């Protein structure tokens, strides 16, 4: 999967719900056509992805912190959505400054709110998607993340146990995964089975036993063993920060 397709694959579930990204018909067509395999100028795809309020600023920060010129480099995109060693080179203070600048804009956060959220970012936080969901919170005002919504919004991962026999392009999979359990402290619970959607145009091949990542109940990618470890590691890292007494 190319870096641009990867970026769309992870953004698409919340984007289609209207929670983030450019909602103009032109941008929607560009992104959907590209991810579904149509021929689309990559420059137009990048321009549409640059309008996503949260992912693109994170891509820029990760790239800059690692001396990578292209914010859409595959390693950078994967760092934000799945997690990898690039995150460890991002300084927490730079992450706080990103909130004060990139997210303090018309239609996003007020200067006062951005400053307040930046000041609450704990030392050791990194620009992983789990940070945005569990620590920072939404910046567009289009969705309120609380309760079971947190588990839907964070990037989940699970092992495929069943593929439902359907002839439509959107198929159903059953996966075993560890849900987010809320209480005095947040944790990953015991494994349960749940159903998620699988668009074969985006992720062509999935088989029973594969590990997959998913966002808002839609498959984003088949994960290799290292990606599973990274996604779990950085998600748990964020959970640990949330559970710190100071928070």
CA distance 27 to 158: 31
Structure tokens at 74: 């595959």
Task: Write out pLDDT tens, residues 187-222.
Answer: 999 999 999 999 888 899 999 999 999 999 999 999
CA atoms within 13 A on the CB side of 49: 28
Structure tokens at 166: 């359907």
Can you name the CATH fold of 148-242? SH3 type barrels. (2.30.30)
Domain regions of the chain by residue span: 3-136, 148-242
Above 90 in pLDDT, residue 1?
Answer: no
Task: Write out pLDDT tens, residues 72-124.
Answer: 999 999 999 999 999 999 999 999 999 999 999 998 999 999 999 999 999 99
**DSSP secondary structure code for residue 67 in this structure:** T
The structure's pTM equals: 0.93
**DSSP secondary structure code for residue 224 in this structure:** P
**Helix axes of 3-16 and 25-35: crossing angle, nearest 10 degrees:** 130
Cα 73 versus chain centre, distance: 16
């Amino acid at each position: 999967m190319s870096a641009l397709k990867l970026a769309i694959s992870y953004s698409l579930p919340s984007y289609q719900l209207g929670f983030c990204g450019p909602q103009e018909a032109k941008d929607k067509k560009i992104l959907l056509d590209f991810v579904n395999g149509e021929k689309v100028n990559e420059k137009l795809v990048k321009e549409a992805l640059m309008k996503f309020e949260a992912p693109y600023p994170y891509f820029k920060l990760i790239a800059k912190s690692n001396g990578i010129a292209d914010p859409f480099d595959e390693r950078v995109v994967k760092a934000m959505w799945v997690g990898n060693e690039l995150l460890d080179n991002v300084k927490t203070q730079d992450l706080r400054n990103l909130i004060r600048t990139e997210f303090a804009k018309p239609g996003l956060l007020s200067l006062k709110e951005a400053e307040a959220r930046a000041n609450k970012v704990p030392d050791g936080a990194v620009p992983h998607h789990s940070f945005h969901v569990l620590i920072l919170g939404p910046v567009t005002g289009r969705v309120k993340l609380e309760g079971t919504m947190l588990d839907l919004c964070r990037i989940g991962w699970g092992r495929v146990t069943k593929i439902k026999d359907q002839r439509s392009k959107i198929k159903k999979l059953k996966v075993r995964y560890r849900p987010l359990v809320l209480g005095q402290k947040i944790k990953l619970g015991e494994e349960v089975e749940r159903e998620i959607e699988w668009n074969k145009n985006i992720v062509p091949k999935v088989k029973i036993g594969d590990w997959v990542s998913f966002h808002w109940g839609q498959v984003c990618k088949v994960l290799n063993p290292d990606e599973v470890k990274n996604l779990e590691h950085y998600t748990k890292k964020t959970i640990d920060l949330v559970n710190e007494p100071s928070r």
